[in-house]
Structure 1
């Protein structure tokens, strides 16, 4: 029997159980994938703790993975058994096998291995929509990205640099600062040691930046708004330190007629044509070597509790991949 992680009640890492599950055949429009690599993301923690609500309990966490198609449901076209595929909008990917709507699956091109594909989909597609669809980064732009040594940060910094931008990144330690510099950051700010808003103003000659990408949340707000130039855009795409509370629209006016948005990957990737365009953009920039996907940790699926402890404790850099 295939193995999977099951969560029967919300809580800490200890609520995740590694156990046998039944093999399920795919229904119409779906495929069954025998996974070879599983992506790990902060959103998985939100679902485990109950900050985000799963459809029901018990459930299997996980959104991201890669593997080979093992079975096709009725009406599925464009895929064959044995095709290498990857996905960022699966349900229950902390498992040896997973059932996924074919509309959420993309082909993995030659030259991209499974671990890289599993590590790049959610983070890489997030970087794609942030850079190309939320605020379209142009040559000559200076941008600010919080948690620049994290999974999205290391991809986005390289990509933004490739697009001709100057990248300012915040990090939490000297070790992470080195990593951020090695992946495209022109300026790195240790946010625990210095006033990052003042430092951004200093770097930009008082002008500020046109966009702040913030996946941290509580710890970086409202100081992120003080980094923006007039008419700049505050992009809140995650809340690793906790949610942004008591957001006042009036504050945007006071700080310079700012824009604020809370985009999600799933709003973009829910459209099949958009998903294919995003994936093509991502795979091409990775295949060209302009963006390298940092897989810094590999762990067994059975060791998922420790994987979540490390991620929640901000002990990780780059991407972590679990192997079934």
Structure 2
């Protein structure tokens, strides 16, 4: 099981990352406009709603309740995702804010308040011989909580910037994200089995919608001249911010759990579930939360963080897995 994941991501290029980078490049050369942009806007709105319906239908409430009994592990991951990360993001934004456009600062802070990934952090935990059931529950709970906490935290940490959520964000969150999610959760007893059985094609749909969201957001930025304000230096600063955030959280999530007596398996789970941020959840949320003219800028830190976390965590998972094998 999961043998494919034992090959480090460093040895191959993830197709999803390539698709996202291609979407950015195509948007820069051929931005969507006119009727195409209108149709794309409607299509991505519907697609995001479908994604959150699927997220709800995929939930297995009984498994989540059982996993929550390990409250120290779940509390550690939740505190890392929704307290430690935002605190580090605020500190970092204060340091680099003078060097970045307000939209990019908002993007760094938005990255910090996102929930964890689901698939990748579970795979990394499995490869590193961590607590896989705990990782599944942590990732699921993180994404469920993120639907409410991410917009709330975004409003709190971005309150003093010009790129924060606009006045209609709460209504759009309810209509475009929360309602489809709750409908999916309610329909899970009838369609949940089918959704879980067809995970691969639905994952392709998930990624296609995200790539379309990236293309739409960056196309809008190109048409409005937003990217003329951003130079290579600012992109380098954003990438450095992503690297600093990842390194700090990886160090803290590995050592701090020893304070409450966590075993190796729970430390591995906290390491990967606490440090990963969900591109799949973040980009659709950004299109709902932020004004259209800043979405492209807000999305950039999230897009840069994703391949960085995949590369670094793949390396760490492989090393930890080999070490566990030698000890075993």
**Shorter-normalised TM range:** under 0.3
What's the TM-score, normalizing by structure 2? 0.23
More helix by share: 2
Specify which structure has the bigger relative contact order, considering alpha-carbon pairs within 8 angstroms and separated by 6 or more residues. Answer: 2
What's the TM-score, normalizing by structure 1? 0.23
More strand by share: 1
